[in-house]
Amino acid sequence: MSTSSPLLPPELSKIIKLSEIGGTPLTGKITADENQCVALAKRFELPSIETLVVDYRLEAKVHEICFTGSIRSKLHQACAISGQPFPVSLTEEFNIVFVEKTDIPPSEEEIELAPEDCDVIEYEAAQIDLGEAVAQTLYLALDPYPRGPDADSIAEKQGLKSEEEAGPFGALAALKDKLG
């Protein structure tokens, strides 16, 4: 994935200043406009993103900001077999925690992260960018090896093995066939 350049603003930016977040959770909606969808599709090397809508809840806790909600998007991905674009409807729930960036250097020790530690984003300058967090979440929700509706027939015509045939059990089945 190419990432947004630090010199250019993110394709989908929604900056919230910490001073805007009070003691009551905020709810809202982020809807990407046509230009933002085009820019995100280019960044993520997708044929297109038609829609991107996010419903969210933002809540300040003692040392963190909780950002939860759901992403809904209609887009096109390129089939990993044929390269042809095909439509995808994506819905993804998210739970992100924003924490203040510290100047403490990382430890040399290896640290194992728990699943709840994986969706943590650091912020600085007393503001968070909900739009960039949404963009990253959308990218991570995409199928890394998308298969279009004709992928199986195209793979068969090209002599490619299916996942079952190419996997370890497929190799064992082929060996069993050879042995009789």
| Pair 63, 117 in one domain | yes
| Pair 75, 130 in one domain | yes
Helix (H) or strand (E) holding 35: helix 34-43
Domain coverage including residue 177:
150-180
Residue 2 has pLDDT above 60, yes or no: no
| Closest alpha carbon to 57 in 85, 88, 16 | 16
| Pair 144, 94 in one domain | yes
Helix (H) or strand (E) holding 41: helix 34-43
128-147: pLDDT as tens digits: 999 999 999 999 999 998 98
Query: Is 4 among the domain residues?
Result: no
Query: Is 155 among the domain residues?
Result: yes
Tokens at residue 90, please? 């994506």
**pLDDT class of 150 with cuts at 50, 70, 90:** confident
Confidence (pLDDT) at 4: 47
Confidence (pLDDT) at 111: 46
| Pair 76, 141 in one domain | yes
| Closest alpha carbon to 20 in 59, 48, 56, 55 | 59
| Pair 95, 172 in one domain | no
Residue 171 has pLDDT above 60, yes or no: no
| Pair 168, 114 in one domain | no
Residue 20 has pLDDT above 80, yes or no: yes
Query: Is 10 among the domain residues?
Result: no
What's the number of domains the chain is made of?
2
Confidence (pLDDT) at 118: 56
Query: Is 21 among the domain residues?
Result: yes
| Pair 54, 71 in one domain | yes
| Pair 58, 87 in one domain | yes
Residue 5 has pLDDT above 50, yes or no: no
Share of the chain above pLDDT 90, in %: 46
CA distance 146 to 34: 24
| Pair 157, 180 in one domain | yes
At residue 108, φ and ψ (nearest 5 deg) are -75, -15
**pLDDT class of 116 with cuts at 50, 70, 90:** low
| Pair 114, 174 in one domain | no
Residue 39 has pLDDT above 60, yes or no: yes
| Pair 42, 68 in one domain | yes
| Pair 142, 157 in one domain | no
The mean-pLDDT minimum among 24-38, 43-57, 141-155, 159-173 falls in: 159-173
Bridge partner list, 48: 76
Helix (H) or strand (E) holding 140: helix 130-141
